[in-house]
Structure 1
Amino acid sequence: MTRLRRLVALGAIGALVAVGLTTQAHAADPNILANPGFESGLAGWTCTAGSGSTVSAPVHGGSAALRALPTDADTAQCSQTVAVTPGSAYTLSGYVQGNYVFIGATGTGGTDPSTWTSATAYQPLSTTFTTGPSTTSVTVWVHGWYSQGAYHADDLALVGPSGGGTTDTPPSAPGTPTASNVTSTSLTLNWTAATDDHGIQNYDVHRGATRIATVTGTTFNDTGLTAGTTYTYTVTARDTANQTGPSSGVLTVATSGTGGGGGGSGTVKLGYFADWGVYGRQYFPKNIETSGSASKINTINYAFGNVTNGQCAVGDAYADYQMTYTAANSVDGTADTWDQPVAGAINQLRQLKRLHPGLKVIWSFGGWTWSGGFPQAAANPTAFATSCYNLVEDPRWADVFDGIDIDWEYPNACGLSCDTSGAAAFKNLMSALRARFGTGLVTAAITGDGSAGGKIDAADYAGAAQYVDWYNVMTYDYFGAWNAQGPTAPHSPLTSYSGIPQAGFNSDAAIQKLKAKGVPANKMNLGIGFYGRGWTGVTQAAPGGTATGAAAGTYEQGIEDYKVLKTKCPATGTVAGTAYGHCGSDWWSYDTPSTIAGKMAYAKTQGLKGAFFWEFSGDTGNGELVTALSNGLG
């Protein structure tokens, strides 16, 4: 067959396998393949032309996988013949990686199934068939395609009733594992043995959904873990007939330590990443790495998920997980493929976490624009919490996110829209989230309004504090060109000052008021804006001058990134712990490395948990504001 004809045939096969069978194997049936994960080399398998071997990487689960190399004359098929029961439904599945990788079965006595995919990382494949009325064996196979490079396969399974005319009961579930010798990076698992009518061969140990080991005893030492991180474990038994039984109960255990400060008792150094920044701003997760900022913070809030119909929802599917990154703008320098299930910023954050194992990523929901959905969510907090958990812990990206952040602007008060849910609504919402997320991170961005009768007074932030790991107190945006004629005033004053337009509109007023209401200092982070707010038509250099409107900004009138302002309108003075600049007829206020250092000293003096900022793209290319924040907190 010429290569051209082979490619034509490949297209025909793709069309045929799109028509699948619908009969399913019974969920309780065992995997009847021998050596399905290639942990025993190629035992039980036959590969054409000596094309197959086992490797230790890449693997999907356990410690081994199949690698086979097609040639111009051979597809590198590896197969196994197995006894089956006539007239029965079977599901064939496995995980494969490579260009044009197929799995299928022959000799089924009916329509022989096959399916294929192309993938740069392990992807699942599955197909079904029903054996003919006299079929007692079938041959299952996996192969690549002519001259398409090596492929890998792992954790193959043929699920259905075993053949041979004998009855062999699968093993029982092992006991729920327990943990001992727990450190910041390792722990020891122990479980009681499963039982089987013919004997136990070994046990598969799973961390989350991934098989991490196959052992013959009832103990396993897991290493290389991340400090201050919660893990789940289950164990399944395999008998001497290669049948796997039901899973054990789930063990949930947290390693000791603080994971670099993202939770526990450590200092929080947190930055927001805005998903829409990948468009006009062309700011990608890679920039967090190349600026040097990734090694200086320990938590990223990913903004924003939507709140709609009483549920958490994806905010921008394209930016979040559909946009394919080029090698040039990806964190690890590898281009995405068109068919990978999760691309976008979420996958890039996954790559960033691989470079910085202690880094926490929290999915933030709401924000100024989408806070209008919270009143409906607050009407049924339990249902809302369940929807959020199901989204954040979706298997496609559960490894990326360490928890949830709620940015409700504002409970029982007005932001873009007004809420009348009552003072207890926020507390009830956070209680439901904590109950659903368990030991995962649960945080919230809250108002910095320290005025008498202001937004802090409108909701029970003290009562809700018991349910959160921390609050991000939004101590910025106090003043701006929404008051077009001024008076000019710094948008993020640390303290009050003579002539401040509104009493209580400063960071210290908010922190002291929250403390007085019972919010622990070590559950509050001080907020920093990586941008400035400004007016035009201003003649007075000092704060308090009149204006004619908002100063011009790159993306929005009256607001500009620090990286632009530092040269466009350098600081000409400071007031109340922040900076301002008067340049021509424009007047801008913003924080600089120097004022951030002062604010971090304040945070430490007040016993705060740490600090956070909005948002990464406002900083310089070498991350000078992040550096100031990180150095200031120590």
Structure 2
Amino acid sequence: MDPSRRAGRPRSVLALFTAALLAVPGLTALSSAAHAADADLARNGGFESGLDGWTCTAGKTVNSPVHSGTSALQATPAGSDNAQCAQTVSVQPNATYTLSAWVRGSYVYLGANGTGTTDVSTWTQSAPDWQKLTTTFTTGAATSKVTVYTHGWYGTGAYYADDLTLVGPAGSGGGGGTGQAPAAPAGLKAGTVTSSSVALSWNAVSGATGYAVYRDGAKVQTVTGTSATVTGLSPATSYGFQVTASNASGESARSATVSATTASGGGGGGGGTGGGALPAHALVGYLHATFANGSGYTRLADVPDSWDVIDLAFGEPTSVTSGDIRFNRCPVSECPNVESDADFKAAVKAKQAAGKKVLISIGGANGQVQLTSSAARDTFVSSVSKIIDTYGLDGLDIDFEGHSLSLNAGDTDFRNPTTPVIVNLISALKTLKAKYGSGFVLTMAPETFFVQNGYQFYGSGKWGGQDPRCGAYLPVIYALRDALTLLHVQDYNSGPIMGLDNQYHSMGGADFHIAMTDMLLTGFPVAGDTGNVFPALRPDQVAIGMPASVNAGNGYVAPGEVTKALDCLTKRTNCGSYATHGTWPGLRGLMTWSVNWDRFSNWEFQRTFDGYFG
């Protein structure tokens, strides 16, 4: 072990990441020339006939501004609705199409779904005057229809679109549909609400053959009728629901959002399908189990009951690429008061009997893990399983830092990563989840550099030589989103990060925590990714990570600033200059580095959490 890293939280990967970060222009895909026989397949792409042919969650036609003709689309995102307008078009299989539109406004998107290959989209961060967006795609071997769309972004004001075209070979219009997807459902309302479920109903849509239910932006259920009950929810948690209608021609835009808050219930919410029941609000703390440092060694049995999740720091590899993880408890020479193995195992059982979760945390600053091969992946699974089984632990925390995760050049689609170290890690975590079942607790503690920084910089090479670690956790989080119990990003050891308000935010106060957490709960654009928008996580999957004291590392904020951040995110009060995109009373809680440093500081962090959440 390297004693130098023991001074506090493992060292930052952002030591050089400061004002050098500059905004990267929005991605505009290259277009291809249309063939002589190609035609414009979009119906009413100039919006001269109102919204005929289009299904819009929010939109109207206006006479000014227009790019050409006498009309254009104006649509204003509101709440959790991004004001999407879409239409489904008949196409030919194995054919190439060029999609273009002229747009105005901030964060305007143009894309196509259902291509049968890779769905595409492009966007502009800011277009004060008309700007042309263009992207291309090739349909799959069985594709006969695609849905083209444009939409804005939450809370950024109205956007405009005009002269949308889809140029390529005309389709046959087959498939038994009308050639148009149905309209978005109206009349969505919440009915019976329990601590773990919400009943929904809506009006029937003409021509629809089925409906899909979305919870906080993620599709969770499909039905053929006009009602559904969404289950597996956390108690005392607010959720936003939307519904779409579909037929043989495609899926409609989403309905207006209806919010519902589940009832309070005994015990926790279970983190959805992520498993590992937790209380509605939880405190997560790292325990120095393999070293002491200036904070001193704290026995597991002496950790106060306020901590609901205890991450044992750290399991580390025998070499960077071996995948072989070992958990070597602190030696007596460094930790004179260390408990015996038998007492440690007994303490694990006692914490579990009290409803706490004890996890092995893998990585840290010196614990670089690069699963470069399938053999390393398999060794990782077997060695981590051995640690979990030996000590009877509840699950695993991934704390990969340094160069453990980075993206190969050209790997710019977080939904379909190709970089081996990322693909193998995803496979290993899915294997562990399947092995231990629904009760397995899976958490991750990346730095902002690996997550929110993907907003502006993602991938390598393509973005002007930016660090290939930028946003490198995004494919892992996305792939494991249904199995993930908690994501607690380290809002410390960080350089300035751009928030959804298009402003850079720096450590030192509530504002940084608010802006970074709002991105996770709202979703955010990803520079360089073909899908563009990283989807929002559920509030019960998110905790805010911060140092416990000034001794623990960069980014410490006083208890009053912690309270401001919680007030803003859970009540939408005390927000300061940053306007959040929602209110999340179900935010899971706080994570801190570390239990040891909090004890060193007379439990200041623990008292703040207990005082706020009771």
Smaller-chain TM-score bracket: 0.3 to 0.5
Relative to the length of structure 1, the TM-score reads 0.38
Relative to the length of structure 2, the TM-score reads 0.39
Relative contact order (alpha carbons < 8 A, sep ≥ 6): 1 or 2 greater? 2
